[in-house]
Structure 1
């Protein structure tokens, strides 16, 4: 089974991905982790690396193409990334996680150790705007459209364990019907 988990920064995609991978023994490919590592290697903030990617579309396309290749070569994997649901239409289950901007920024503030919540808020807004622009330019994708997703779940309402129960139920149902 191939699963994609997508959502805006701080929505909990990484947490849910690794939670499900542990429960169901899925392999994982994470576009966000690759993106963060590439930013770190260049000693750039995520927002600054996003600007760099605006100037060099090959970076985003390389991440997206590599993720797709890996997923299609593995029949038991979770692909975690903003565009995974769009880039891997063959996935058996495509999930979008949502949460309010305020909730997501507080998670980002804690995770990325920002010194000021307002800085975290501004960088998150800048990053999301930059990404939305790139996705539209590169692939004609409106990141606000949820059309490719089978499940849209509120990660502000549910804990990662509760989300795991919901998604595990969907996985079990799909496996029984397939």
Structure 2
């Protein structure tokens, strides 16, 4: 089984993905973790690394190529990244988008990273704008187009226990043998 969990920073992707990976005995691959590791290797914050990625498209392309390869070649994986649903395309059994209002996400990030909420909000908005431009420029992906996802969920409405429970119920009710709803992601340039 290949599941994808996508969404903006602070939406609960990592928490939910970890719970789902454990519930279904899937390997959890996090694009965010890989991105932060690459930033740390260069002694940069994620925001600084995002700025560098605006100037050097190879950063995104290398990361996205790695994630797409994993999606196409491996089994029993949960792929978590902003573009995971797009990168997995037709290979994904189910694709989930998590979101919450920016104020909620900024508070979560501030609590997690020990910073002021206004700083977390400014960094988050800057990061999202940067990524949106790059995804559109590199791959012709409109990250706000949620039509490819099987479920889009506002995580501000439920807690970190309930969100994985909701998605777990969806996965458990999924019948891969009766999956005529799968479709390739149209119009995406996979030139990583």
Cα offsets for 1:99-147 (capped at 9, x unmatched):
0000000111111222x22211111111111111111110111111101
Which residue in the other structure is 1:49 paired with?
49
* Structure-2-length-normalised TM-score: 0.88
Q: How far 1:177 moved relative to its partner?
A: 5.0
Question: How many aligned residue pairs are there?
Answer: 177
Q: How far 1:176 moved relative to its partner?
A: 7.0
Which residue in the other structure is 2:105 paired with?
104
* Structure-1-length-normalised TM-score: 0.95
State the distance in 2 between where 1:174 and 1:120 align: 37
Answer yes or no: is 1:28 the counterpart of 2:31: no
Which residue in the other structure is 2:69 paired with?
69
State the distance in 2 between where 1:176 and 1:169 align: 15
**Is the CA contact 2:71–2:87 (under 8 Å) kept in the aligned structure 1?**
no
Unaligned segments of structure 1, at least 5 residues: none
Helix, strand or coil: the match of 1:88? helix
State the distance in 2 between where 1:47 and 1:159 align: 27
What is the root-mean-square deviation of aligned Cα atoms in Å?
A: 1.3
Q: How does 1:1-178 map to 2 (within 5 A)?
A: 1-89=1-89, 90-114=91-115, 116-175=116-175, 177-178=177-178
Does 1-10 or 63-72 show the bigger shift?
A: 63-72
